[in-house]
Amino acid sequence: MSIQVIKSDVPQPLANYSEASLANGLVFAAGQLASDFKTGVPQEARKHPNFPFYGSDIKLQTDFILKNLAKTFKAAGTSLDNVIKAQVFLMDLNDFNGFDEVWKQYFKVPPPRTTIGTTGLLVKDTLVEIDLIATLPDKPAKVIKSGAPKPLANYSEAMQVGDLVFAAGQLASDFKTGVPASAKRAENFPFYGSDIQLQTEFILENLKKTFEAAGSSLNHVVKAQVFMTNLNDFAGFDQVWKQYFKVPPPRTTVGTSGLLVRETLVEIDLIGYIPRSGLKHEVITSGAPRPLANYSEAFTLGDFVFAAGQIASDYKTGVPAEARTHPNFPFYGSDIKLQTTYILNNLKKTFEAAGSSIEKVVKAQVFLTDLKNFAAFDEVWKEFFKVPPPRTTVGTTGLLVKDALVEIDLIATR
């Protein structure tokens, strides 16, 4: 399948990634920030210093980003009206309400959305990064509604385009009281049960409803992302996860600085498909290290390859010797460069086993524990990609293996 690189007249990034890519009727945009990539946050995206109580920085930045994303999609032959999936990374969740006010002005039918807190963005003073996927006008999306709780904010529960189903990130909330009683331990029985297990079960039961309403099921999920406020909760979460998935889908799990409902511990974001006309996914296994947790290395579905997020671990010792500087030679080499190289070499194996290659990546997300490592990471990145794919890069509070510095999440074609 051919991949078309999309370029408009929006500000071009300093780093090594493309503005967007078009493949198999879907447009994958890079995460966009409110920056001109010359001065930082430009004047039109911030309040005037002499009028600090007029206007709103988050509203101005959101407006700036969405105007640019509209140009990106127009250059690809589509528009914001055809966005089928959104992820939003906020520096401060207190900015969410202002962000959401602008959001609803741009979307007649708001797409499924996942909104989480991040520890950092790549341009000073930026407040939000927006990551979108759209379809082409000749393949319109269908909004999916089930009996799951309806969100307070401006987004749809899920959208179906062709055979694919894109669900909004879901939290353990009824959107009336907060975290409902069924998703938390009883106050008088604090040592019975587990909040993370109850919340995970609540979310997955609702996601079952979402996919059933679309004519699918959790057995047809091909990609999962999990955002946790405390990675110490991971083992409990993973115990519930394996009860819901006979063959667990590729998964990315990272720490987040916050979620939008008080006391929620985890947000789960899924992509699935409708199993019709003989369509089915294939589990991909290569020579890359096998994870300890309950997820697959990658799935193929039609012309797409959905890979799990990968970190620099052999899952036996932790970060292996070849992915870290030698303790006796601490000033020779670079941990982030070694880890990035290790991960991308393993992802090459994954995509080759799927009948694809790293050159066919159409979408990348990168989660860094320290954004100071970005420049060195990006040096390695450009060595692996002749035409760098659209990319979103944000900070995370943590990754699942000690001393891991970066997790890389990729979608490719074949």
Per-residue pLDDT tens, the chain, 414 aa: give them. 689 999 999 998 888 899 999 999 999 999 999 999 999 999 999 998 878 888 899 999 999 999 999 999 999 999 999 999 999 999 999 999 999 999 999 998 999 999 999 999 999 999 999 999 999 999 999 999 999 999 888 899 999 999 999 999 999 999 999 999 999 999 889 888 899 999 999 999 999 999 999 999 999 999 999 999 999 999 999 999 999 998 999 999 999 999 999 999 999 999 999 998 789 999 999 999 998 888 999 999 999 999 999 999 999 999 999 999 998 898 888 999 999 999 999 999 999 999 999 999 999 999 999 999 999 999 999 999 989 999 999 999 999 999 999 999 999 999
Rounded Cα gap, residues 151 and 238, in angstroms: 25
Give the pLDDT of residue 292. Answer: 87
| Residue whose tokens read 């003073």 | 125
Are residue 275 and residue 157 in the same domain, yes or no?
yes
Instruction: State the CB neighbour count (10 A cutoff) for residue 1.
Output: 13
Are residue 185 and residue 216 in the same domain, yes or no?
yes
Are residue 91 and residue 151 in the same domain, yes or no?
no
Are residue 273 and residue 183 in the same domain, yes or no?
yes
Q: Which one of 81, 108, 138 terminates a domain?
A: 138
Are residue 12 and residue 133 in the same domain, yes or no?
yes
pLDDT tens string 359-387: 999 999 999 999 999 999 999 999 999 89
Give the DSSP per-residue string, 241-270: HHHH-SSPPPEEEEE-S--SSTT--EEEEE
Domain containing residue 322: CATH number: 3.30.1330.40
Token digits for 371? 């954004």
* 209 falls within a domain: yes
Q: What one-letter code names the amino acid at 85?
A: K
Q: What one-letter code names the amino acid at 189?
A: F
Are residue 59 and residue 164 in the same domain, yes or no?
no
* 296 falls within a domain: no
Q: Which one of 138, 154, 182 terminates a domain?
A: 138
* 371 falls within a domain: yes
* 76 falls within a domain: yes
Domain count along the chain: 3
3-state DSSP assignment of residue 192? coil
Q: Which one of 86, 109, 138 terminates a domain?
A: 138
Are residue 102 and residue 45 in the same domain, yes or no?
yes
Are residue 211 and residue 313 in the same domain, yes or no?
no
Rounded Cα gap, residues 329 and 342, in angstroms: 19
Are residue 269 and residue 153 in the same domain, yes or no?
yes
The alpha carbon torsion through 267, 367, 352, 390 (nearest 10 deg) reads: 100
Are residue 134 and residue 246 in the same domain, yes or no?
no
* 104 falls within a domain: yes
Are residue 124 and residue 6 in the same domain, yes or no?
yes
Rounded Cα gap, residues 339 and 322, in angstroms: 8
Domain that holds residue 5: 1-138
Are residue 126 and residue 183 in the same domain, yes or no?
no
* 392 falls within a domain: yes
* 291 falls within a domain: no
* 294 falls within a domain: no
Helices marked H in 119-233 — which ranges? 195-213
Angle between the N-to-C axes of helices 195-213 and 234-244, in degrees from 0 to 180, rounded to the nearest 10: 30
